[in-house]
């Protein structure tokens, strides 16, 4: 009996409308950032104890949560743009969707910063116009921490839809993205050496665009004919291996520190490769991560990640302000008080982010959804069905 031949197309990977694994990655990203700000960033006199110092020092890698967000954003936004590229309302659909998703909670945060006395009128200008990542190049006052990465995102939104539309084919867009990935380390090196200085190597958009570009490359790959279940596994393994090899090889040379030329140029590159591998893996695992009960909280954090990212630094600042005004003991030099502060702030911030998502954010998304036609909801649709923010 002749063996049955399987068509090469049979294993072609079709990107699903909802990818559960992305919620885990989004939740992990925001958790890393909160731990970074709550422990490493806040440490003052605690880490001189050796064991404690090792524990707190490990949370320094929490800054990588922002890089993971950028890789996810490059993947998701590029996918949306590619899937809507031929539609007549291409720009309107994109910018209306982004505005409804980003602006309400963002401007509410600005109002809360003003009400809490943590923001002045002079701080509003760079925040309102999403220029908070340019403090190294301008005379803008010091910005609210999370706003710099949102400025990068908004500047990316301003340029990338036009880029996708002008580059006619996916191949051209792919090569353009590859060019960004190779050019950015060189630009960061030149800026570090001040030949010429182009801004902070970790915050300005034109020096961090490779984070977004590698995500864009994954979006293009997932819509190509070579994207199969097997090729995804091989590409994920290759990217992860390259990232780990780069880290192991370059750590002795100072890649972990941006005060060296090598670190300034290449610090984020291995992590981008590792995060790209994680993203590809998340496309295939489906609901299998539900078996790991210890990670069951991550999808919920992913669901409220935007609000939690916006509010958590403000909550830390308000906690310290209230504690100081009421004569409560500070956490300086006390690990137990530092952990108590983290716990209290985390609970409050999660509650506030949940309330924001259930009311303000979902209200604006649902309002847009009611204006949609009765046609089937595609992968690039607006509102809560959008791949970037969807939750079943």
Residue 334 CA to residue 337 CA, distance in Å, equals 5
Q: Would 137 be classed as within a structural domain?
A: no
Q: Would 261 be classed as within a structural domain?
A: no
pLDDT per residue as tens digits for the range 162-204:
999 999 889 999 999 999 999 999 999 999 999 999 999 999 9
In the structure, what pLDDT confidence band is assigned to residue 219 with cuts at 50, 70 and 90?
A: very high
3-state secondary structure of 30: helix
In degrees and rounded to multiples of 5, residue 12 shows phi and psi of: -60, 135
Q: Which 8-state DSSP code applies to residue 136?
A: T
Q: How many domains does the chain have?
A: 1
pLDDT given for residue 57 in this prediction: 74
Residue 171 CA to residue 186 CA, distance in Å, equals 23
Q: Would 85 be classed as within a structural domain?
A: yes
31: number of Cβ within 10 Å: 19
pLDDT given for residue 119 in this prediction: 81
**pLDDT surpassing 70 at residue 10:** no
Q: Would 134 be classed as within a structural domain?
A: no
Residue 362 CA to residue 253 CA, distance in Å, equals 47
Q: With residue 317 as reference, give the H or E element that holds it.
A: helix 305-325
Q: Would 331 be classed as within a structural domain?
A: yes
Q: Would 206 be classed as within a structural domain?
A: no
Across the chain, mean pLDDT equals 85
Q: Is the pTM for the entire model greater than 0.75?
A: yes
**pLDDT surpassing 70 at residue 6:** no
**pLDDT surpassing 90 at residue 213:** yes
pLDDT given for residue 190 in this prediction: 96
pLDDT given for residue 116 in this prediction: 79
Q: Would 348 be classed as within a structural domain?
A: yes
**pLDDT surpassing 70 at residue 333:** no
Choice between 178 and 388, residue whose per-residue pLDDT is larger: 178
Q: Report the percentage of the chain scoring pLDDT > 90.
A: 57
Residue 176 CA to residue 209 CA, distance in Å, equals 12
Domain range spanning residue 148?
A: 15-115+143-154+212-244+272-369+377-385
- φ/ψ region of 141 (left if φ > 0, alpha if ψ in -120 to 50, else beta) reads beta
pLDDT per residue as tens digits for the range 235-287:
999 999 999 999 999 999 989 888 899 999 999 999 999 999 999 999 888 67
Alpha carbon 115 to chain centroid distance?
27
Q: Answer positive or negative: Cα dihedral of 326, 329, 335, 336.
A: negative
Q: Would 64 be classed as within a structural domain?
A: yes
**pLDDT surpassing 80 at residue 352:** yes
């Amino acid at each position: 009996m002749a063996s049955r031949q399987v068509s090469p197309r049979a294993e072609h990977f079709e990107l699903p409308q909802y990818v559960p694994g992305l919620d885990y990655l989004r939740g992990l990203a925001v958790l890393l950032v909160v731990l970074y700000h709550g422990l490493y960033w806040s440490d003052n006199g605690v880490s001189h104890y050796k064991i404690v110092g090792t524990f707190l020092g490990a949370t320094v890698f929490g800054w990588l949560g922002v890089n993971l967000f950028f890789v996810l954003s490059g993947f998701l936004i590029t996918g949306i743009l590619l899937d809507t590229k031929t539609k007549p309302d291409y720009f309107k659909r994109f910018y209306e969707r982004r505005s409804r998703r980003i602006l309400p909670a963002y401007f509410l945060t600005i109002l809360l910063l003003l009400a809490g006395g943590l923001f002045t009128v002079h701080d509003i200008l760079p925040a309102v116009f999403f220029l908070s990542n340019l403090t190294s190049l301008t005379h803008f006052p010091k910005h609210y921490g999370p706003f710099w990465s949102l400025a990068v995102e908004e500047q990316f939104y301003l340029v990338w839809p036009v880029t996708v539309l002008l580059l006619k084919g996916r191949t051209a867009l792919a090569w353009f993205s590859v060019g960004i990935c190779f050019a950015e380390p060189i630009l960061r090196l030149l800026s570090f050496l001040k030949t010429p200085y182009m801004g902070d190597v970790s915050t300005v958009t034109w020096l961090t665009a490779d984070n977004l570009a590698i995500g864009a490359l994954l979006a293009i790959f997932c819509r190509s004919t070579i994207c199969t279940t097997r090729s995804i596994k091989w590409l994920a393994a290759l990217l992860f291996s390259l990232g780990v090899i780069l880290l192991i090889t370059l750590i002795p040379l100072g890649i972990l520190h941006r005060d060296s030329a090598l670190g300034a140029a290449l610090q984020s590159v291995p992590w981008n490769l590792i995060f790209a591998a994680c993203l590809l893996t998340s496309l295939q695992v489906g609901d299998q991560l539900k078996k790991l009960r210890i990670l069951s909280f991550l999808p919920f954090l992913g669901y409220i990640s935007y609000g939690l990212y916006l509010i958590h630094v403000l909550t830390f600042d308000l906690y310290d302000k209230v504690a100081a005004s009421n004569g409560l003991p500070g956490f300086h030099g006390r690990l137990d008080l530092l952990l108590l502060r983290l716990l209290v702030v985390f609970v409050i911030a999660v509650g506030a982010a949940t309330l924001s998502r259930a009311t303000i954010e979902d209200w604006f998304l649902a309002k847009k959804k009611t204006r949609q036609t009765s046609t089937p909801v595609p992968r690039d649709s607006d509102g809560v069905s959008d791949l970037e923010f969807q939750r079943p």
